[in-house]
Chains A and B, each alone.
Chain A
Amino acid sequence: MSGVEWIIPILLTVITAATPLVFAGIGELVTEKSGVLNLGVEGMLLVGAVAAFVTATVTGNYFLAVAAGALAGAFLAFLFGVLTLSLMANQVATGLALTLFGVGVSALIGQDFVGIPVDALPKLAVPGLSDIPVLGPVLFGQDALVYLSLFMAALVSWFLYRTKGGLILRAVGDSHNAAHSIGYSVIGIRYLAVMFGGAMSGVGGAYLSLAYTPMWAENMTAGRGWIALALIVFATWKPGLVVVGAYMFGGITILQLHAQAAGLDVPSQILSMLPYLATVVVLVLISKDESRIRKHAPACIGKIFHPAA
């Protein structure tokens, strides 16, 4: 038994590293499926993280804290929607601005909270099941948000491919002109999708500041928003593959931490680079098969919709 005991902490940390990516990735997937490219994921993660952390320290209520994270993310996404959907600003530029805005505003809100510790999100324990060696703590001893992230991935997958609402959302992303001509409210549907994406990123941020490292530090997302964006391309816009990708990147993140701890004779900077390097490599590999991307990518992604014509 002792041979596999060492793997439990690794698996546990992989799950915690992957969960924020699952939230952000699934949320942005819905946004992109509706034909909107929101590059502000990093910013929405940060405001989610700070809002949740501040609420948790002030109220001590984790439910309220996570809700505050979701609201903060959705609010930022709403601003993005006003700019790109109603005022028709360029989505790429606005998304980049949203990230910069999120970095700044989260630092401002969080400046009095740096270094304050909170208790980590409590782990759920299923009596009996959690005591099973190895599998028990991995499968049945996680906090509520881990289960929520996987549930949301399944829910989104069901919504997109099994319901009329999901069909309409994909239709808007596939051809906004056609959707408009049969009478769907392209702008309205996109607002909902964008705000759902923001709320999910906000929860992902809340997970970072409440569970992954229960504290607030400026810029604590460390580029996870960008990895989430890359994940979607990696997953060719399929919810199941987003989860797989998130766990893969989570695994690489943790692996490099353990490699550093084990004193591997490689400069630590190189090891820290690994998750980002892996992102670039995977994107290059995926992009080689252009037709695969084209088949699943929403055709209207990033295009401004002018309803008059």
Chain B
Amino acid sequence: MGDGGTPHGALKPRLELRGITKAFPGVLANDKIDLKILPGEIHALLGENGAGKSTLVKIIYGVLEADEGDLLWNGVPLRIASPHAARKLGIGMIFQHFSLFEAMTVTENIALGLPGRQNMAELARRIVEVSNNYGLPLEPHRHVHTLSVGEKQRIEIVRCLLQNPKLLIMDEPTSVLTPQEADKMFETLRRLADEGVSILYISHKLDEIKALCHKATILRGGKYITECDPTQETSKSLAEMMIGTNLVAPEHVENATRGEVRLKIRDLSMETSDQFGVNLSQINLDVRAGEVMGIAGVAGNGQVEFLEALSGEVLSQDPANIQLDGKPIGKLGPVERRNLRLAFVPEDRLGHGSVPEMDLVDNAFLSAYSQKKLLKAGFIDRSTTTAFAEEIVQKFDVRTAGVSHTAGSLSGGNLQKFIVGREMLQDPRLIIIAHPTWGVDAGAAAAIHQAIIDLAENGAAVLVVSQDLDELFAISDQIAVIAEGRLSVNRNIREITIEEIGLLMGGTHGAGERKEVSSVA
């Protein structure tokens, strides 16, 4: 199976799509898409956000119905009317955003995905058996909200396996896993393929696809582009087929002269009020002027709480826990922190980063009114604010029909560029950016990365929290890992390997080193 070629060349395709077309009001999400998956084949579906991958998968899984085109299952044309019908055929799906019920146990979650009645005790026994058999250990009686993201994904996989699937659809399965967890999952997938299961693997991580998949179908803008053998392509050539233009990697010159310490975090601990939250424990960190500090970690390890503490949404116990330019700011609210020229790009674009129902001018005003002096005698200076919003749109290449359009009408990538631009143009001394390119297409991501690097070169301190290791390696000077509410000691990006970061993400801390840092403080 490792040869990467067509494994069962003479076989009839398990699933074949011909000319699938699906239109939504205003967009043609799928435009005459063809796809062929053989038994035992791991087939990649590759494309940018908005390329039509999700729509196509929903059609296969019976969530949506195609407007036109044929679907053939083992050579027989048929219509899949519902997910129930799909599962009956032997199609299993593992969702990117898990379809799990947090308040229920592992067994209950799996029972919900199976047809008919189950004896819960018997089901629990089968879960243990199947999960151990495939190297995906699960404890059936645990409540889902107490599990790690990797364990949650195992529930989804085991739920599919219990139904003896013929085709397994996986939507960006590794985006929430540590590199080690991902490797383990690949072993399971290869074994399933050896047993004859077809796998449709959706991802935009090209290295993974090259390592795992036998075939790849590439979509762009809702259209079928080509089918290729990913092992015969380079990451660059795959990316270019996906995007349709040449990709320019961000230029990153190492900053030899690191400036003075801008952000100093000392012994920051915090109890969360959220039942599903994470407590922060003894966080220490220095971020210097002119450097990009990357914070890696699997989601749900305290990133949300850490960002809330930094932005001032939640105040720390001691003002000296967080210092900006030597000034204790731990007890200052978000506005006061902004007045000290701390800028903040939150994780949640719609809701935290912008007000979706307001236009871009108002959104520009909301976080920048003090820095950019947009108030005139207590009233909004509409013309200056409009000029500022237009400056953001122009400098950060935000694609919009005009600044009078609402924030909610922008695509994810464009809104992110707008928010990043709004914060960067306030000339911050420290900028904190959460997941700068989450859900952003590659072209916009490259632009945002370049902007972050340029800002640091101009002397700002930058702290980036991200789950995407490739991103952190592309833009950071220093990197630290957050796991279970603790932050590892930071390391130079050139002196640390992906494997070491993976181990830290799994919760193995450099405890001895951490003590040293605290005593220096």
Interface residues of A (CB under 8 A from B): 164, 167-168, 170-171, 174-175, 177-179, 181-184, 290-291, 294-296, 299
Closest Cβ of chain B to A170, distance in Å, is 7
> A167 contacts which chain B residues (CB < 8 A)?
104, 108, 111-112
B97 nearest in chain A by CB position: A177
In the complex the two chains form, is B100's CB within 8 Å of A178's CB? yes
In the complex the two chains form, is B102's CB within 8 Å of A299's CB? yes
Identify the interface centre among A164, A168, A295, A299: most chain B CB within 10 Å of its CB.
Answer: A164
Contacts of B97-126 to chain A: CB distance below 8 A: 98-104, 108, 111-113, 117-118
A162 nearest in chain B by CB position: B120
Closest Cβ of chain A to B75, distance in Å, is 25
A296 to B275, CA, bound (A): 12
Interface residues of B (CB under 8 A from A): 62-63, 82-84, 87, 93, 95, 98-104, 108, 111-113, 117-118, 273, 275
In the complex the two chains form, is A175's CB within 8 Å of B101's CB? yes
In the complex the two chains form, is B101's CB within 8 Å of A174's CB? yes
> B275 contacts which chain A residues (CB < 8 A)?
291, 294-295
- 13 additional A-B pairs beyond A174-B102, A290-B273, beta carbons within 8 Å, are A164-B117, A164-B118, A168-B112, A170-B101, A170-B103, A171-B112, A174-B103, A175-B100, A177-B99, A178-B99, A183-B62, A183-B84, A184-B112
In the complex the two chains form, is A181's CB within 8 Å of B83's CB? yes
A297 nearest in chain B by CB position: B103
Closest Cβ of chain B to A297, distance in Å, is 9
A182 to B61, CA, bound (A): 10
Known: A181-B63, A182-B83. A175 touches B113 (CB 8 A): no
In the complex the two chains form, is B84's CB within 8 Å of A171's CB? no
In the complex the two chains form, is A164's CB within 8 Å of B99's CB? no
Closest Cβ of chain A to B344, distance in Å, is 26
The contact sample of 21 A-B pairs, CB cut-off 8 A, is A164-B111, A167-B111, A171-B104, A174-B101, A174-B103, A175-B99, A175-B101, A175-B102, A178-B99, A178-B100, A178-B101, A181-B83, A181-B93, A181-B95, A181-B99, A182-B99, A184-B112, A294-B275, A295-B103, A296-B103, A299-B102
B117 nearest in chain A by CB position: A164
A168 nearest in chain B by CB position: B112
In the complex the two chains form, is A171's CB within 8 Å of B95's CB? no
Q: Is the interface of A mostly helix, strand, loop or mixed?
A: helix
> B62 contacts which chain A residues (CB < 8 A)?
183
> A183 contacts which chain B residues (CB < 8 A)?
62, 82-84, 87
Closest Cβ of chain A to B469, distance in Å, is 28
> A164 contacts which chain B residues (CB < 8 A)?
111, 117-118
> B98 contacts which chain A residues (CB < 8 A)?
178
B98 nearest in chain A by CB position: A178
Closest Cβ of chain A to B117, distance in Å, is 5
A179 to B108, CA, bound (A): 13
Identify the interface centre among A164, A177, A183, A296: most chain B CB within 10 Å of its CB.
Answer: A183
Closest Cβ of chain A to B325, distance in Å, is 37
In the complex the two chains form, is B99's CB within 8 Å of A170's CB? no
In the complex the two chains form, is A174's CB within 8 Å of B104's CB? yes
B84 nearest in chain A by CB position: A183
> A174 contacts which chain B residues (CB < 8 A)?
101-104
A294 to B108, CA, bound (A): 19
Closest Cβ of chain A to B153, distance in Å, is 14
A181 nearest in chain B by CB position: B99
Closest Cβ of chain A to B333, distance in Å, is 22
A296 to B312, CA, bound (A): 30
> B95 contacts which chain A residues (CB < 8 A)?
181
A110 to B83, CA, bound (A): 49
Top 7 nearest A-B pairs by Cβ distance?
A183-B83, A178-B99, A181-B99, A174-B101, A183-B84, A291-B275, A182-B113
> B87 contacts which chain A residues (CB < 8 A)?
183
Closest Cβ of chain A to B67, distance in Å, is 15
In the complex the two chains form, is A299's CB within 8 Å of B113's CB? no
Partner of B101, one of A171, A291, A294, A296: A171
> A171 contacts which chain B residues (CB < 8 A)?
101, 104, 108, 112
> A177 contacts which chain B residues (CB < 8 A)?
99
> A178 contacts which chain B residues (CB < 8 A)?
98-101
A184 nearest in chain B by CB position: B112
A182 to B109, CA, bound (A): 11
> A291 contacts which chain B residues (CB < 8 A)?
275
B109 nearest in chain A by CB position: A171
A290 nearest in chain B by CB position: B273
> A181 contacts which chain B residues (CB < 8 A)?
63, 83, 93, 95, 99
Known: A182-B99, A294-B275. A170 touches B104 (CB 8 A): yes
A295 to B93, CA, bound (A): 28
> B99 contacts which chain A residues (CB < 8 A)?
175, 177-179, 181-182
Closest Cβ of chain B to A61, distance in Å, is 38
B108 nearest in chain A by CB position: A167
Closest Cβ of chain A to B26, distance in Å, is 14
> B93 contacts which chain A residues (CB < 8 A)?
181
Closest Cβ of chain B to A158, distance in Å, is 14
Identify the interface centre among B102, B111, B112: most chain A CB within 10 Å of its CB.
Answer: B112
A175 to B93, CA, bound (A): 17
A164 to B119, CA, bound (A): 10
Closest Cβ of chain B to A186, distance in Å, is 12
Identify the interface centre among B63, B102, B103, B104: most chain A CB within 10 Å of its CB.
Answer: B103
B112 nearest in chain A by CB position: A171
A174 to B101, CA, bound (A): 6
B82 nearest in chain A by CB position: A183
> A299 contacts which chain B residues (CB < 8 A)?
102-103
In the complex the two chains form, is A182's CB within 8 Å of B112's CB? yes
> B83 contacts which chain A residues (CB < 8 A)?
181-183
Closest Cβ of chain B to A187, distance in Å, is 14
A99 to B95, CA, bound (A): 41
A174 nearest in chain B by CB position: B101
> A295 contacts which chain B residues (CB < 8 A)?
103, 275
A262 to B362, CA, bound (A): 65
A183 to B99, CA, bound (A): 11
Closest Cβ of chain B to A80, distance in Å, is 25
> A170 contacts which chain B residues (CB < 8 A)?
101, 103-104
Closest Cβ of chain A to B318, distance in Å, is 25
A177 to B99, CA, bound (A): 7
Closest Cβ of chain A to B123, distance in Å, is 11
> B103 contacts which chain A residues (CB < 8 A)?
170, 174, 295-296, 299
A170 nearest in chain B by CB position: B104
Closest Cβ of chain A to B19, distance in Å, is 23
A295 to B275, CA, bound (A): 8
> B84 contacts which chain A residues (CB < 8 A)?
183
A174 to B275, CA, bound (A): 15
